[in-house]
Amino acid sequence: MNVDAEVWLEPEEALTRFKRPDIASLDFENVNQQTSQSRYGFKVGEIGFLIPRKTMSEVMKSFKVFPVPNTQLWFQGLTNLRGNLVPVFDLALLLGITDTPTTSNNLLILEKGAESIGVLIDSMPRSQDISSYHPLQKSPQLPAVLNEYITEVYTFKDFLWVSIDHKRFFKSLKSNIAL
């Protein structure tokens, strides 16, 4: 039995004892502006990829990829994520950056549910403050497979950052997966 029970507030009093904050004085416009300049990005060779705004993403550290016979080497196979089969891609192989499969224990998952795709990455995605990046009007020489899917291109400290329409890009690969 609690001997301090008589000092407790009645439930109705406990719920109404705090004053509601004055949210009119908060500057949501500037907060939204600042957060819209921050994006997560990951590197594949000498190309940085920005994860598109409003895209669900997560990183899996422990995963098993089940290979699919008679498919391209850059299509690593499928993994199970909460009951959904997720296709796993090796972008370094696909883009011709390397000719050996990526041996990584980081799998970046883009989207959720049946729309999920996995990309092998060497290191964890990092927050990128693109407000200090220099936008380019014309994309420099990139692997041809990316060209029609590029939505934004930036440079920062002599490093190239791109944003692609990942849904269209990975959907376009479907017809090229089989050998």
131/154 Cα distance (integer angstroms):
10
59 has pLDDT over 80: yes
Element (H, E) at 12: helix 11-16
Structure tokens that stand for 100 in this block:
């050996």
Domains in the chain: boundaries: 37-176
20-57 per-position pLDDT tens digit: 777 776 665 655 454 458 999 999 999 999 999 899 99
81-118 per-position pLDDT tens digit: 999 999 999 999 999 999 999 998 899 999 999 999 99
116/163 Cα distance (integer angstroms):
18
34/139 Cα distance (integer angstroms):
26
- Residue pair 81/94 in contact (Cβ under 8 Å)? The answer is no
Helices (H) and strands (E) in the chain, counts: 4, 11
Query: What b/e sequence results for 26-40 when a residue is b if at least 16 CB atoms lie within 10 Å of its CB, and e otherwise?
Result: eeeeeeeeeeeeebb
**Which CATH number is correct for 37-176, 3.20.20.70, 2.60.120.20, 2.40.50.180, 3.20.20.140?**
2.40.50.180
Element (H, E) at 94: helix 91-94
120-168 per-position pLDDT tens digit: 998 999 999 999 999 999 888 899 999 999 999 999 999 999 999 999 9
Q: What is the pTM of this model?
A: 0.79
For residue 36, what pLDDT is reported? 58
Task: At 81, give phi and psi (nearest 5°).
Answer: -125, 105
